[in-house]
Amino acid sequence: MPPSGFSQKAINGLLIFVESCYEDLLLEIKDGKKTEGQAIQKELDNIREYLTHFKL
């Protein structure tokens, strides 16, 4: 059951987005494109940006 005020569709979309951020994070670290800290910061920035536009 989603948190109060959130539809199941909204929660599912958010989960898919966060999952893809973690997949990107792992690939960037594995491929040596970024250090762990840089990759984590980039994904946190992506999540923060997405959440500022997230509509209920």
Asked whether residue 30 is domain-assigned, the answer is: yes
**pTM here?**
0.65
Asked whether residue 31 is domain-assigned, the answer is: yes
Q: Determine the Cα angle at 52 with ends 42 and 25, to 5°.
A: 20
Asked whether residue 13 is domain-assigned, the answer is: yes
The number of folded domains in the chain is 1
pLDDT, residue 6, reads: 76
Burial of 14 (0-12, 13-18, 19+ CB in 10 A): middle
Asked whether residue 3 is domain-assigned, the answer is: no
Can you give the residue range of the structural domain that contains 36?
A: 8-53
Quote the CA–CA distance of 8 and 39 in Å, as a whole number: 29
Asked whether residue 40 is domain-assigned, the answer is: yes
Asked whether residue 46 is domain-assigned, the answer is: yes
pLDDT, residue 56, reads: 55
pLDDT, residue 14, reads: 83
Asked whether residue 49 is domain-assigned, the answer is: yes
pLDDT, residue 31, reads: 92
Asked whether residue 1 is domain-assigned, the answer is: no
pLDDT tens, position by position, for the chain (56 residues)? 666 777 888 888 888 988 998 898 899 889 998 889 998 898 889 888 888 886 65
pLDDT, residue 39, reads: 87
Distance of CA 13 to the CA centre of its chain: 10
CB 53 within 8 A of CB 17: no
